[in-house]
Chain A
Amino acid sequence: DTEVTQTPKHLVMGMTNKKSLKCEQHMGHRAMYWYKQKAKKPPELMFVYSYEKLSINESVPSRFSPECPNSSLLNLHLHALQPEDSALYLCASSHLDWNTEAFFGQGTRLTVV
């Protein structure tokens, strides 16, 4: 199984809503990542979890709150987002090695209205 599964695929939310993005992998990877990608731009790293602990937060606003309940799951909790937060949110996972690839989910297309 080389899949990273993200749900939902599409999400429309108001600026006062609370929602969560979910990501799951069963490849035994101990690193999991959230990326944000705006149209026609490369993915930008948001958070990194290694061994279920937050190891990198790339100065992401607190309205984005990550959570790693166990080694297979990664969540991104969203609250009070702004329209400029509309983007494709990609989850990825990998082994903790520089010489192995990261696997990505299909992403969640988020629209904030």
Chain B
Amino acid sequence: AQKITQTQPGMFVQEKEAVTLDCTYDTSDQSYGLFWYKQPSSGEMIFLIYQGSYDEQNATEGRYSLNFQKARKSANLVISASQLGDSAMYFCAMREGRSGAGSYQLTFGKGTKLSVIP
């Protein structure tokens, strides 16, 4: 079973509007971290925002916020006031607390391609 599911292969949003990118996850661990990364066409993976499994409040970082619903196992990314530079691939990822070998590697979803329309 997939650990991270992103059901939107592509999304369009008008400039200056808000957009929500969906992410659901599957884990039996109590301790886990959820991350969103942005990947422009240049290739670099840029860290955007983090939500821990024990965090009671939704994370926010500037125009990015994470809508964390633990019971539903969802961690949706909300981008407010979209800009043309937000056009990129967006990946949801998870690190589980009991990953083997003490490495806590990231597991990625398939990604959502966001296109911002002027």
Q: Which stretch in B62-70, B77-85, B92-100 binds the other chain?
A: B92-100
Query: Is B103 touching A96 in the complex (CB atoms < 8 A)?
Result: yes
Cβ of A5 to closest chain B Cβ, rounded Å: 11
Query: Is A88 touching B43 in the complex (CB atoms < 8 A)?
Result: yes
> CA–CA, A102 to B95, complex, Å?
10
Whether B18 sits at the interface, judged by CB under 8 Å, is no
CB within 8 Å for A106 and B103 given contacts A42-B110, A99-B52: no
Write out, one digit per residue, whether chain B residues 85-118 have a CB within 8 A of any chain A CB (1) or not (0).
Answer: 0000001000111011111111011110000000
> CA–CA, A48 to B42, complex, Å?
24
Counting chain B residues whose Cβ lies within 8 A of the other chain, the interface size class is: 20 to 34
Query: Is A107 touching B101 in the complex (CB atoms < 8 A)?
Result: no
Contacts of B11 in A (CB 8 A): none
Contacts of B109 in A (CB 8 A): 42
Query: Is A55 touching B102 in the complex (CB atoms < 8 A)?
Result: yes
Whether A1 sits at the interface, judged by CB under 8 Å, is no
Whether B12 sits at the interface, judged by CB under 8 Å, is no
> Which residue of chain A has the shortest Cβ distance to B50 in the bound complex?
A101
> Which residue of chain B has the shortest Cβ distance to A106 in the bound complex?
B44
Write out, one digit per residue, whether chain A residues 40-62 have a CB within 8 A of any chain B CB (1) or not (0).
Answer: 01110100101000011000000
Query: Given A55-B102, A90-B45, A101-B50, list of 16 further CB < 8 A pairs?
Result: A42-B108, A43-B91, A43-B106, A48-B103, A50-B101, A50-B102, A56-B103, A92-B45, A94-B104, A98-B31, A102-B95, A102-B106, A104-B37, A104-B44, A104-B46, A105-B44
> Nearest 3 A-B pairs (CB), nearest first?
A55-B101, A104-B45, A42-B108
Listed A/B pairs (6) with beta-carbon separation below 8 Å: A50-B102, A96-B103, A97-B104, A99-B50, A102-B35, A103-B47
